[in-house]
C-alpha cells in the first residue's frame, strides 16, 4: 500500500518527446535494409568542426517522415572524440565515468575475457582511435554506396580518417544468424508507443504505462521522477548514450551444440533453442506459447510482448535463465517492476555478414550482430544488465548460470530448463564473441550544431538563457519536477488517481472549511487591483494563450497564507492572479502560485516559508495548447513584511511573469503591477479557481485533479456553514 | 548462536597512519580471521579523521569523534571472550602491534577483559541466514557437489544412478 | 580493494545523529526487532549477509577511560553482495520508507531521492575498511540460502542402502524437481 502511494505521488505518468531535436533511429527504428557504421578519427579541431558543419544538414532527426528517405546519417561521439573537438575540460569531466572510461576499460566488468578480450578486437574498435561514429543506413546497397562515397570524400577533404568501416545488412525476416527474429522486445516509450503489458512501467493500478523519456534521453523525467542527469551545459538536454558492440555469432558452433545437447537431453532441438532464448525462432514468446511457435502471436504487435512473467515465477514456461528473460525480467524479480524498470534500453541492432547456409559447416566468414542500444545511463542500464543479469545468474535467481549467448566464462557452466524433473544443458559453449565496441554519446540536434560551431560555451553566457546549476536542478522537489513533464493532457490514470486522492482529502477540506467558515486552504488573503502587461514576442509555447497575446489586461491578485497559520510560522504563501477577460469578454484565466524559498545554497527546495519570498511558482502542472509550462512570478522589488502585505501596503509592487518550457530556460513574458488593495467586500468577490482557463492555460495531472475536488469540497463546507449560520 | 562483536578503541593521536599501514599490509589471504574458528567475517576499520562528516566546515566539527578510532568487528558463532582469546592467539605478537597504538592497551596478558570492556553493543542486528559458519560452508560445498552430480547423471538408468550416488556421496 | 573479499563487500557508515535522533533509533529498532514486516523485504531481497547498527554516546578516550560525545554517532556496518550504490539504490526502490527512516535523523541526510545527493552523502560518510575477510567469499547471500535449502532437502533423501534403485531414482528426481531453483 505504501509502495502504491509512493508511486502515486512520485511517478510521472506522462512525458513528451521533441522529435526535431533528437537524432533518429532511437525512439523509432528506421528499419532500413543496410548500414555502414564508420568509425572516424578527426583531423584538427577546426577541421572536425567544419566537417560537422558540412554534414549537419544531412543528419537525420526523429521528425516524422513524409516519405521514407533512401539513406540516413547519424553521428555519435566517443569521449576522446569530444576532446578532439576541443570541448572544454569541465564539460568533458561532466560526462559519467563509464563513458569517460570507454568500453575497452570496462572489459572485465562486461565479461569481455578470453576470446572476447579487447586484445582480439577488430582494428580501430575500442582502441581510442575512433572519435566518432558516422552511421549511414540505406534502403539498398547502391544507395548506401552512394552515401558512403559522398561522406568519405568530405572526410578525406577535411583531414578525417576512417579507422573502422563496418557494413551491416538485415537478414530476411529480421532474423539474426542463429535463426531468431531479433529486436522484438523494446520498451514502450511515453508519448511514442502504446504501452502494452510487460513493456513499459507499472503504475499504481497495475496498468502498464509507457516508459518515461528520461530513461533514454537526458534532461527528462525518468522512472523515479527525477530529471535524468547527463552531461553539463550546454549538452544537458535530449542527448543519449549509445552502446555499440560488434558481436560475432558462430552459427555453425551454435547449431552443432544445440543438436548435441538436444540429443543428450532427449528433447526437441527447436524447443531447446527456444528455451535458451525465451522465444521461438519466429519471435513468439515461450511465456505465451510454451509448447509450439505461434505465427499469429509472433505477428501480432499487441500480443508478441504482452507478458510479464508474473504467472511463471519458476520459469516452467520461459526459463529464468533464458536470454530475453534475464535481459528484461519484467515482473519476474518480485517487488513489481521496482528491480527492473531502471534497466530498460532501446535496441537498434543490425546483422552483418552473409547467413550460413542450412546444414553447412563453418566457412570461417565473419557474421553476427552490430548490437546498438540507447540509454540515459550506461552504468545503470547496459552495464548492469550485462554484469549482473547476463554474466552471472545471482541477480536473476539462477545461481551462477550465465546467459547462454552473451554471458561470460561459459565453459563448464550449465543452463537449467525448469521442469519435472529439470534438465541441464551443459557444458555451455561460447558461440557469441565480442569483436569490438565503443561507448558513444549521441548529441541532440542542437548540441550537434553547437559542436559544429566555433566555440562551445555554457548556455548561460549566451543571451536568452539562464543557467540552472546542476545541483540546484537535482534538489528541486518532485512536485516541481513533475511540472517539467511536457504532456498537454491528463491521462485517464492520472484522472483516476487524482479523483481517489481528492475523495480522500475532500472530507478533510469540507470539515476544516465548515469549522472555519472559510476556505480550507488560503482562507484569508489580501486582494489587490492589478494590471498585467503582456510583452510582445513571447515564446511560441504561449501562442493562443493570454500570456502569448501582447496587451494590457486588468487583473485581480490575492496574496495569502495557505493554512492561515500565525505569522512567522512556516506556511505556504500564495499568489493568485485572476484575469477576468483573458481570452475575450468573460473568458477568465486564473493562476495559483506559491512561494518557493531559495536557500542560501542556491537550492530551490522548501515550499513552506516564514514570509513572502520574491519567487512564486505555479508548482503543479500547467499546459498551453503547445505543451507543458511552468509559470513563475518574480518580485521586482523585495517583498514587504507579511504584516504590510496584509495591511494593503503592497501597492506598486511589480512581478515579472516568466514561462518555462520543459527543460528550457525561463522567458519573461509579462509584468504584473499591483494597484490598490480592495476592500473586504470587493476582495471577497473573486473566488480564485484554477478551473478558470479562458486564457488558454489549463491544469494537468493527478494533483490538479485532486485539487479541484478538494476546492469544491472546501466551497461546499463553507456554504454549509453559511447556510447553518 | 550468531553474534555481532564490535570492539572500539581510541587510537593514540598521531599513531593512526602507522596503525593503518600495518593492518592494511596484511593481505586477505593471510587474514587472521581465517584462522579463528566460528568467524563469518571480520574487519578492522581505522577511522583516521577527526571529523565525522567530511563535508562539514571546520566550525561544525567539534561534535565528531575526539580521536582516531580502531574498530575491530566480526560476526561470530562462539562466545565473544572465547573468540577474542582465539583471535589474540592467532595474531600472536601482531596483537601488540595493533592495539599498542590504542590508549589504555594493557598488553597481551590481560587483553581479553580489556577488549571486552571496549565492546560496543549493537542496537539492531540483521542476518538473512542464521546458520553457523561450519554449516554454511558445508552446505555451499554440498550444493556444488550436488549440482555437478545432477548434471552428469542426467538420463542414467536407476541402478547406475544409485551406484554413482553411493560412490559420490557415500551415503 | 580492502573492503571486498571475493563477492562479499564491507561497508562502514559513520555519521553524527541530530537532536532526538537517539530516541528515533530506539523506536525504529524496537519496531524492527518486533515487527517482521519491517525487515522481511530486506530478507526477501537477499543481498545482505549481516548488518548491524550501533549508536555511540560514549567512546574510549586517550586516557583509557570513556568520554561522552557532544552528539551521538551512528555506526552502521554491513556485509553484503555488490557495490554500495547498488545496495543503497535497491533499498531506495523497494523499501523507501524504511531506508529513509534508517538515516533520517543523521547529519545532513539529504533524503534518499534523488539519488545524486544521497550517493554523495553516502560517500561522505563511508569509511574505508582497512582489512576485511569473509569465510565464504565466493558465495552471495542467495548462494547461502540456496545451499541451506538444498542441504536440508538432501538430508531427506532415503539412504541408498534401504531402497531399490527405482525407488531411489524416483526420490532423486523428486529432490531435483523440488530444489531445481536452488541448483
Could you report the per-residue pLDDT of C77-132, keeping only the tens digit for each? 999 997 777 778 888 888 888 889 999 999 888 888 888 888 888 888 888 899 99
- State how far the Cα of A102 lies from the Cα of A436, in Å rounded to an integer: 12
Chain B residues whose CB is inside 8 A of the C130 CB are 20, 23-24, 43-46
Q: pLDDT at position A476, please? A: 27
Which of C48, C127, C144 is closest, CB to CB, to B47?
C127
Q: pLDDT at position C153, please? A: 97
Chain C residues whose CB is inside 8 A of the B140 CB are 136, 139, 143-144, 147
∠ Cα A112 A116 A120 (to 5°): 125
Which residues partner with B42 through β-bridges? Answer: B74, C133
The proportion of chain C whose per-residue pLDDT surpasses 90, expressed as a percent, equals: 52
- Cβ-based interface (< 8 Å): residues of A facing C: 2-3, 6, 10, 224-226, 229, 314-315, 320, 334-335, 338-339, 342, 384, 388, 394, 397, 399-400, 416, 418-422, 474-475, 478
Size of interface A-B (CB pairs under 8 A): 13
This prediction's pTM = 0.75
> What ipTM was assigned to the predicted interfaces of this complex?
0.91
Q: pLDDT at position B81, please? A: 96
- Mean pLDDT in each 10-residue stretch from start to end of chain A (725 residues)? 44 51 92 97 94 94 87 97 93 94 96 96 95 97 97 95 97 95 86 69 73 89 80 91 98 97 96 97 96 94 89 96 95 86 94 95 96 96 95 92 93 94 95 97 93 63 33 29 46 78 85 75 81 85 84 88 71 86 80 68 54 76 80 80 82 86 73 83 58 81 80 74 57
Question: Cβ C116–A421 below 8 Å, yes or no?
Answer: no
Terminal-residue alpha carbon distance, chain A: 41
Give A395's Cβ-side CA count (13 Å radius): 25
Question: Cβ A424–B155 below 8 Å, yes or no?
Answer: no
Q: pLDDT at position A562, please? A: 76
Partner chains of C (3+ C-beta pairs under 8 Å)? A, B
Question: Cβ A423–B151 below 8 Å, yes or no?
Answer: no
Chain A residues whose CB is inside 8 A of the C176 CB are 421-422
Provide the Cα torsion A371, A181, A416, A378; round to 10°: 20
Best probe of the B interface among A414, A428, A601, by most B CBs < 10 A, is A414
Chain C residues whose CB is inside 8 A of the A399 CB are 142-143, 146, 182-183
Task: Please tell me which residue of chain A has the smallest CA distance to C171.
Answer: A421
Q: pLDDT at position B64, please? A: 64
Which residues partner with A627 through β-bridges? Answer: A624
What kind and span of H or E run contains B73?
strand B69-76
Chain B residues whose CB is inside 8 A of the A424 CB are 150-151, 154
- State how far the Cα of A658 lies from the Cα of A652, in Å rounded to an integer: 19
Question: Cβ C181–A397 below 8 Å, yes or no?
Answer: yes
What kind and span of H or E run contains A247?
strand A240-249
How would you class A718 by CB atoms within 10 Å of its CB: exposed for 0-12, middle for 13-18, buried for 19 or more? buried
Beta carbons of A710 and A505 less than 8 angstroms apart: yes
More confident residue, A697 or C174: C174
Q: Which DSSP state fits A542? A: G
Residues 6+ apart with CB under 8 A from A195: A188, A207, A208, A209, A210
Task: Please tell me which residue of chain B has the smallest CA distance to A428.
Answer: B151
Q: Distance from B154 to chain C by nearest Cα, in Å?
A: 10
Task: Please tell me which residue of chain A has the smallest CA distance to B143.
Answer: A399
Rg of the Cα atoms in chain C: 22
Q: pLDDT at position A473, please? A: 30
Question: Cβ B150–A424 below 8 Å, yes or no?
Answer: yes
Helix axes C141-154, B133-152, angle to 10 degrees: 70
Q: pLDDT at position A327, please? A: 95
Residues C8-31, mean pLDDT to the nearest whole number:
90
Chain B residues whose CB is inside 8 A of the C182 CB are 143
In order of A427, B156, C78, the CA distances from A413 in angstroms are 5, 20, 31
Beta carbons of A611 and A568 less than 8 angstroms apart: yes
Question: Cβ B8–C56 below 8 Å, yes or no?
Answer: yes
Chain B residues whose CB is inside 8 A of the A426 CB are 151
Task: Please tell me which residue of chain C has the smallest CA distance to A394.
Answer: C142
Q: Distance from C39 to chain A by nearest Cα, in Å?
A: 15
- State how far the Cα of B21 lies from the Cα of C2, in Å rounded to an integer: 12
Helix axes B133-152, B158-169, angle to 10 degrees: 150
Q: pLDDT at position A460, please? A: 36
Asked if the model's pLDDT at residue C64 lies above 90, the reply is no
- State how far the Cα of B54 lies from the Cα of B64, in Å rounded to an integer: 10
Q: Which DSSP state fits C39? A: H
Q: pLDDT at position A95, please? A: 95
> Exposed e or buried b for every residue in A190-206, given b needs 16+ CB within 10 A?
bbbbebbbbbbbbbbee
Beta carbons of C79 and C50 less than 8 angstroms apart: yes
User: What parts of chain B have a pLDDT lower than 70?
Assistant: 48-64, 171
Amino acid at each position: 500500500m505504501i509502495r502504491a502511494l509512493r508511486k502515486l505521488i512520485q511517478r510521472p505518468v506522462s512525458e513528451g518527446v521533441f522529435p526535431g531535436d533528437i537524432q533518429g533511429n532511437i525512439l523509432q527504428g528506421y528499419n532500413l535494409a543496410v548500414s555502414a557504421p564508420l568509425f572516424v578519427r578527426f583531423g584538427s579541431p577546426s577541421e572536425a568542426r567544419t566537417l560537422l558543419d558540412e554534414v549537419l544538414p544531412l543528419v537525420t532527426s526523429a521528425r516524422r517522415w513524409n516519405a521514407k528517405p533512401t539513406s540516413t546519417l547519424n553521428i555519435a561521439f566517443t569521449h576522446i572524440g569530444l576532446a578532439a573537438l576541443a570541448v572544454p575540460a569541465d564539460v568533458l569531466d561532466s560526462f559519467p565515468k563509464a563513458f569517460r572510461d570507454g568500453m575497452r576499460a570496462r572489459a572485465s566488468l562486461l565479461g569481455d575475457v578470453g576470446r572476447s578480450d579487447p586484445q582480439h578486437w577488430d582494428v580501430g574498435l575500442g582502441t581510442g582511435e575512433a572519435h566518432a561514429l558516422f552511421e549511414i543506413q540505406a534502403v539498398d546497397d547502391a544507395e548506401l554506396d552512394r552515401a558512403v562515397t559522398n561522406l568519405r570524400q568530405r572526410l578525406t577533404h577535411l583531414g578525417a580518417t576512417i579507422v573502422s568501416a563496418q557494413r551491416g545488412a538485415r537478414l530476411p525476416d529480421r532474423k539474426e544468424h542463429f535463426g531468431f527474429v531479433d529486436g522484438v522486445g523494446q520498451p514502450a516509450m511515453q508519448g511514442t508507443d502504446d504501452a502494452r503489458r510487460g513493456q513499459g512501467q507499472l503504475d499504481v493500478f497495475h496498468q502498464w504505462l509507457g516508459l518515461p523519456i528520461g530513461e533514454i534521453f537526458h534532461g527528462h523525467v525518468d522512472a523515479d521522477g527525477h530529471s535524468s542527469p547527463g552531461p553539463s551545459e550546454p549538452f544537458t538536454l535530449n542527448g543519449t548514450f549509445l552502446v555499440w558492440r560488434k558481436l560475432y555469432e558462430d552459427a555453425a558452433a551454435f547449431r552443432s551444440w544445440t543438436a548435441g545437447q538436444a540429443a543428450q537431453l532427449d528433447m526437441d532441438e527447436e524447443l531447446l533453442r527456444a528455451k535458451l532464448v525465451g522465444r521461438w525462432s519466429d519471435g513468439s514468446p515461450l511465456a505465451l506459447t510454451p509448447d509450439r511457435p505461434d505465427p499469429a502471436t509472433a505477428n501480432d504487435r499487441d500480443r508478441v510482448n504482452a507478458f510479464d512473467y508474473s504467472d511463471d515465477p519458476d520459469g516452467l514456461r520461459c526459463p529464468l535463465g533464458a536470454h530475453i528473460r534475464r535481459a528484461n525480467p519484467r515482473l519476474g524479480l518480485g517487488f513489481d517492476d521496482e528491480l527492473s524498470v531502471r534497466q530498460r534500453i532501446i535496441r537498434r541492432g543490425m546483422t552483418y555478414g552473409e547467413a550460413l547456409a542450412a546444414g553447412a559447416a563453418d566457412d570461417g566468414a565473419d557474421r553476427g550482430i552490430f548490437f546498438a542500444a540507447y540509454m540515459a545511463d550506461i552504468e545503470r542500464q547496459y552495464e548492469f544488465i550485462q554484469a549482473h543479469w547476463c554474466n552471472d545468474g545471482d541477480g536473476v535467481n539462477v545461481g551462477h548460470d550465465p546467459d547462454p549467448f552473451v554471458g561470460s566464462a561459459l565453459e563448464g557452466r550449465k543452463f537449467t530448463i525448469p521442469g519435472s524433473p529439470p534438465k541441464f544443458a551443459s557444458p555451455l559453449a561460447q558461440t557469441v564473441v565480442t569483436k569490438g565496441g565503443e561507448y558513444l554519446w549521441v548529441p541532440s540536434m542542437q548540441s550537434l550544431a553547437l559542436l559544429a560551431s566555433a566555440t562551445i560555451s555554457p548556455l548561460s553566457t549566451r543571451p536568452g538563457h539562464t543557467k540552472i546549476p546542476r545541483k540546484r536542478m537535482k534538489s528541486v522537489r518532485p512536485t516541481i519536477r513533475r511540472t517539467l513533464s511536457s504532456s498537454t493532457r491528463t491521462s485517464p490514470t492520472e484522472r483516476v488517481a487524482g479523483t481517489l486522492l481528492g475523495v480522500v482529502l475532500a472530507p478533510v477540506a469540507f470539515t476544516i472549511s465548515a469549522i472555519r467558515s472559510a476556505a480550507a486552504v488560503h482562507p484569508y488573503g489580501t486582494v489587490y487591483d492589478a494590471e498585467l502587461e503582456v510583452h510582445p514576442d513571447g515564446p511560441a509555447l504561449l501562442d493562443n494563450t493570454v500570456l502569448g497575446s501582447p496587451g494590457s489586461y486588468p487583473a485581480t491578485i490575492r496574496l495569502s497564507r495557505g493554512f492561515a497559520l500565525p505569522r512567522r510560522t512556516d506556511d505556504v504563501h500564495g499568489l493568485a492572479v485572476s484575469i477576468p477577460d483573458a481570452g475575450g469578454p468573460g473568458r477568465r484565466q486564473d493562476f495559483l502560485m506559491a512561494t518557493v524559498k531559495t536557500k542560501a545554497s542556491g537550492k530551490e527546495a522548501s515550499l513552506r516559508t516564514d514570509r513572502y519570498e520574491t519567487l512564486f511558482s505555479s508548482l503543479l502542472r500547467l499546459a498551453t495548447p503547445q505543451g507543458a509550462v511552468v509559470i513563475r512570478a518574480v518580485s521586482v522589488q523585495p517583498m514587504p513584511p507579511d504584516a504590510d502585505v496584509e495591511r494593503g501596503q503592497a501597492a506598486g509592487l511589480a512581478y515579472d511573469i516568466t514561462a518555462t518550457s520543459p527543460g528550457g530556460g525561463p522567458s519573461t513574458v509579462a509584468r504584473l503591477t499591483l494597484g490598490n488593495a480592495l476592500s473586504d467586500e470587493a476582495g471577497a468577490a473573486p473566488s480564485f479557481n484554477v478551473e478558470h482557463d479562458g486564457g488558454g492555460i489549463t491544469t494537468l495531472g493527478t494533483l490538479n485533479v485532486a485539487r479541484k475536488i478538494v476546492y469544491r469540497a472546501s466551497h461546499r463546507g463553507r456554504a454549509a456553514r453559511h447556510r447553518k449560520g | 548462536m550468531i553474534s555481532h562483536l564490535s570492539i572500539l578503541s581510541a587510537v593514540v593521536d598521531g599513531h593512526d597512519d602507522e596503525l593503518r599501514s600495518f593492518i592494511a599490509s596484511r593481505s586477505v589471504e593471510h587474514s587472521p580471521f581465517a584462522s579463528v574458528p566460528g568467524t563469518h567475517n571480520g574487519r578492522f576499520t581505522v577511522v583516521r579523521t577527526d571529523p565525522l562528516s567530511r563535508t562539514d566546515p571546520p566550525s561544525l566539527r567539534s561534535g565528531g569523534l575526539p580521536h582516531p578510532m580502531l574498530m575491530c568487528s566480526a560476526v561470530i558463532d562462539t562466545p565473544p571472550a572465547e573468540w577474542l582469546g582465539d583471535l589474540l592467539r592467532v595474531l600472536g605478537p601482531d596483537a601488540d602491534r595493533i592495539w599498542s597504538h590504542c590508549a589504555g592497551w594493557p598488553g597481551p596478558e590481560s587483553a581479553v577483559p580489556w577488549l571486552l570492556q571496549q565492546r560496543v553493543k549493537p542496537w539492531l542486528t540483521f542476518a538473512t541466514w542464521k546458520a553457523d559458519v561450519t554449516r554454511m560452508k558445508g552446505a555451499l560445498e554440498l550444493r556444488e557437489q550436488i549440482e555437478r552430480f545432477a548434471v552428469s547423471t542426467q538420463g542414467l538408468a536407476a541402478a547406475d544412478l544409485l551406484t554413482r550416488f553411493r560412490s559420490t556421496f557415500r551415503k | 580493494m580492502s573492503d571486498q573479499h571475493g563477492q562479499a563487500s564491507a561497508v562502514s557508515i559513520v555519521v553524527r545523529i541530530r537532536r532526538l535522533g537517539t530516541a528515533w533509533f530506539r523506536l525504529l529498532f524496537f519496531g524492527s526487532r518486533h515487527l517482521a514486516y519491517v525487515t522481511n523485504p530486506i530478507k526477501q531481497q537477499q543481498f545482505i549477509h549481516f548488518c548491524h547498527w550501533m549508536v555511540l554516546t560514549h567512546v574510549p578516550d586517550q586516557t583509557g577511560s570513556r568520554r561522552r560525545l557532544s552528539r551521538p554517532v551512528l555506526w552502521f556496518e554491513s556485509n553484503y553482495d555488490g557495490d554500495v550504490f547498488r545496495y543503497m539504490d535497491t533499498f531506495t526502490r523497494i523499501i523507501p520508507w524504511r531506508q529513509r527512516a534508517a538515516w533520517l535523523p543523521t547529519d545532513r541526510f539529504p533524503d534518499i531521492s534523488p539519488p545524486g545527493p544521497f550517493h554523495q552523502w553516502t560517500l561522505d560518510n563511508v569509511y574505508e575498511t582497512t582489512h576485511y575477510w569473509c569465510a565464504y567469499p565466493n558465495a552471495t547471500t542467495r548462494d547461502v540460502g540456496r545451499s541451506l535449502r538444498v542441504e536440508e532437502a538432501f538430508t531427506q533423501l532415503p539412504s541408498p542402502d534401504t531402497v531399490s534403485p527405482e525407488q531411489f531414482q524416483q526420490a532423486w528426481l523428486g529432490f531435483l524437481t523440488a530444489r531445481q531453483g536452488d541448483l
